[in-house]
Every structure is written in structure tokens, then in C-alpha cells.
Amino acid sequence: MYCLKRNSNFGINKFKTYYVDKNIILFLFIFLIVIGKIIRYTIMKTVLVDAGIGYSWIELIANGDLYFNFVTIDNAIASENVIYIFSKLNIFGLQTYLEFEIAISVIFNIITFVFLLKMKKNIKFTNFIFICMSIIALNIFDFTLAKEPLQMIFFFICSIILLNSKLNAKNKIFLIVFVLSFSALILRIYYLIIVSFFLIIIFIYKFIISKTNINNTKKIIISLFLIFISYLTMLVACKYLSPSSYEALLYVRTRSSSATTDMLNITNSDNVLMLSIEYIIMAARMLFPIELITYGPKYWVYVIYQLFISFVIINKLLTTKKNYLSICLFVAFVLGSATFEPDFGSWVRHETVLMPVFLVAIDCIQVNSRAIARKIKC
């Protein structure tokens, strides 16, 4: 069911915003899952299914003598932690990659569906398109035997924290920092960079972006300068205090790769000033991946999907105070990812699990986190 509402943005009353009943999304949910899986097992099968990391985990899940440990920059036990967790959760004795994908897809689509039940009655048509594309993307890239399903759990928790009206901003920030830090220690150590940028972006928002006496152009320039200083400080600290961390950051951006959508620096300089600038450029490339248009039509949908997210977040960041923590978290995720994402394929796979936080940012979810928590727990 569609309804119309006048939109007075930019003082132009003649434009209208279309709204969609949330029940349409709930009705289409199964069809969107099917579309995602068809795309995954047809045009994307070679790069996503056949090359799936989960194939190498099957035997270890069944027979591996693994243990759980915290991740550091100098080891590669994150996959072992994921394998260990899946081995403990494998109560049905799943034995093949396909069986695991079916089970993971069923469980996480149910969790996503329950979360979507908390959508507001009517949502903007543009947000409707985003949600539909996100459901498809999750089933193409993420709901399989990999780290992403476990990572998404942490972002569901973050979204519940953000929605909790009984928590003040300071408590929400503390809890989100704790959740992401714990996630970093068991899954992806480089998420600690995202935690750092989360606090930095909150500072920038509170003292620069939210100030009404500064125009948007100055806000952007000052914000970019502070982000540059943040990158520079991080690189200098890593270079002298943790050389292995610095080498890891440098390797990601200067290595050779056969990936079609590889994300390498424009220059191969290891100068910290140039690297700081390169990170800002990389974040912009990730937000506006128009370079992918030249790779053919199958990338165009992703470009549209990403551009929608980027324009909405930037608009929200500059024009609203509502849900600013969720917006800051997304921006921090982009800035942190700019330091370690190897290619656009990995970026969209990792970004898509942020869907619950993004839904909070665009004000699609009703504030009633205790009910959400109860339903997910059940």
C-alpha cells in the first residue's frame, strides 16, 4: 500500500515522498532470499561459492582439535575461533558446505525477519528499495559458512543498544565500544581501528558537524583535516610502537592481487603523509565506487546500492541530530575499513552485515529494543 506525503526538503514543497507499507517487505522477504541465492549460485558462483573459505573448514569443524583464543595482529587464529564456534553450534551434525549454508541462511534470515518486524508502519520508498537490496545482498555474500554471520550478531547487538531509549548517549557509546572491542579480539583485530574512529567521529560530530554557526563546506573541510590527522597519528604510532601492525597496514595497500575489483593505493609510497591522504581517497572510493561502472553491468547494481547508502548517510550526518550515534558508527566503519579492505568484493560483503545499524540510522526501526531482544532470544 502506497501513500504520499509532501517533502519540504530544501524548501521545495512540490516534491513528494512515497511511502510503502512495511508488510510489503515482509511479504516479499522469501522472494528476495530466493533472488539472492539464485544470483549467488549462478552468475556469482565461481567467485563466491566455488572459492568459499568454508570448504576448508568442514573437516576441521568435524574433527579438528581446536581451541578458542584471543586474536592479535601477529597471528591468524580468527578463523580457528570461527571454526571452533561453528563446531560447538553444530548440534545437527552438518557435514557439507551446502548443509551449513542452508542452516545459516535459515537461522539468520529468521533473525533478520524478526528485526524487520520492528520497522515503522510506513517507510520511505527509497528505504524500501535499500532494505530489499540488503536482503538480497546478505543472501548473496554473507549468509554462508564464513565469519560474516557471527560478525553480524555483534551489529544486531549494537543496533539493540542504539534503540534502547533507557540508555543515555554515554552508556550507549561505552557498550558499543565494548561490543566492537570484544568482536575485534575474537574475530577481526583490525576492528579496533573502527572503535578508535567511532570515538573520533563522535568528537567531530559534537564539536564540528552539529554546530549551526558553521556552514557545510567548512564542516567538511575541518572534518577531513581532523580525519587526516587521525590517520597520520595512527600510522606514526604503529610505525614506531608496533612495526608489525604498520607492516600489515602497508601490505594491504601495496600488495599485488589478481582480484578484478582490487583496491590498491594510487601510489606505492610508504610515506605516512601520503598514506594518510591515500586512506581518505580510499574511503571516498569505497563510498562512491563509480570506477566499477567500467567493469560491466553486473557491477552496476552494487554501485547504485553503495551510492544510495553513501548519499543517505552524508545527508543524515549534515542535517539531523537524530540517531547520530548510528551514523557515527557507520562513518567509523568506512574510515576503519579504508585501511584494510583488499577489494570491493570484500568491502560490500563486510559492509552489508552493518544493515541493522543502518536501519537505525535512517530511522526505519521503532524504539522498543527490549521486545526485539526477547524475540531474537526466542
DSSP for 91-154? TT---SHHHHHHHHHHHHHHHHHHHHTTB-SEEEHHHHHHHHHHHHHIIIIISSSSSHHHHHHH
Q: How confident is the model at residue 369 (pLDDT cuts 50, 70, 90)?
A: very low
pLDDT at 84: 87
Contacts of 181 (CB under 8 A, 6+ apart): 191, 192, 195
Please choose, from the candidates 193, 199, 277, the residue with its C-alpha nearest in 3D space to the C-alpha of residue 237.
193
User: What tens digit of pLDDT does each residue of 263-284 get?
Assistant: 877 887 778 999 999 999 999 9
Please choose, from the candidates 90, 28, 31, the residue with its C-alpha nearest in 3D space to the C-alpha of residue 58.
90
Mean pLDDT of 208-231: 89
pLDDT at 342: 83
pLDDT at 7: 45
pLDDT > 70: what percent of the chain?
Answer: 89
Q: C-alpha grid cell for residue 229?
A: 590527522
**Per this entry, what is the length of the chain?**
378
Q: Is the pLDDT of residue 202 over 90?
A: yes
Please choose, from the candidates 39, 262, 24, 292, the residue with its C-alpha nearest in 3D space to the C-alpha of residue 143.
39
What are the backbone dihedrals phi and psi of residue 130, each rounded to the nearest 5 degrees, phi first? -60, -45
pLDDT at 257: 63
Q: How confident is the model at residue 308 (pLDDT cuts 50, 70, 90)?
A: confident
What SS3 class is residue 112?
A: helix
How many other β-carbons are positioned within 10 Å of the β-carbon of residue 291? 13
Mean pLDDT of 344-359: 91
Hey, which residues does 119 pair with through a beta bridge?
Answer: 365
Calculated CA dihedral for residues 359, 361, 362, 364, nearest 10 degrees: 50
Q: Is the pLDDT of residue 198 over 80?
A: yes
User: What tens digit of pLDDT does each residue of 109-149 get?
Assistant: 999 999 999 999 999 888 899 899 999 999 999 999 999 99
Burial class (CB in 10 A: 0-12, 13-18, 19+), 158: buried
Contact assessment for residue 234 and residue 196, using Cβ atoms and an 8 Å cutoff: yes
Report the C-alpha gap between 24 and 176 in whole angstroms: 32
Contact assessment for residue 310 and residue 288, using Cβ atoms and an 8 Å cutoff: yes
Q: Is the pLDDT of residue 177 over 60?
A: yes
Ranking 58-72, 161-175, 276-290, 315-329 by mean pLDDT, the lowest is: 58-72
pLDDT at 72: 61
Q: Is the pLDDT of residue 373 over 50?
A: no
Q: Is the pLDDT of residue 197 over 90?
A: yes
Report the C-alpha gap between 352 and 309 in whole angstroms: 10
What are the backbone dihedrals phi and psi of residue 197, each rounded to the nearest 5 degrees, phi first? -70, -30
Mean pLDDT of 192-219: 90
* Three-point CA angle 99, 377, 176, nearest 5°: 100
User: What tens digit of pLDDT does each residue of 35-69 get?
Assistant: 999 999 998 898 889 988 899 899 888 886 777 77
Report the C-alpha gap between 264 and 258 in whole angstroms: 11
Q: C-alpha grid cell for residue 196?
A: 578508535
Among 17-21, 160-164, 316-320, which range has the highest average pLDDT? 160-164
Calculated CA dihedral for residues 180, 131, 48, 36, nearest 10 degrees: 150
In SS3 terms, 299-353 reads as HHHHHHHHHHHHHHHHHHHHHCCCCHHHHHHHHHHHHHHCCCCCEHHHHHHHHHC
Calculated CA dihedral for residues 312, 307, 229, 195, nearest 10 degrees: 70
Mean pLDDT of the chain: 85
* Three-point CA angle 155, 190, 327, nearest 5°: 40
How many other β-carbons are positioned within 10 Å of the β-carbon of residue 39? 19
Q: What is the CA radius of gyration of the chain?
A: 21
Largest interatomic CA distance in the chain: 66
Report the C-alpha gap between 254 and 305 in whole angstroms: 28
pLDDT at 104: 96
The whole model's pTM is what? Answer: 0.88
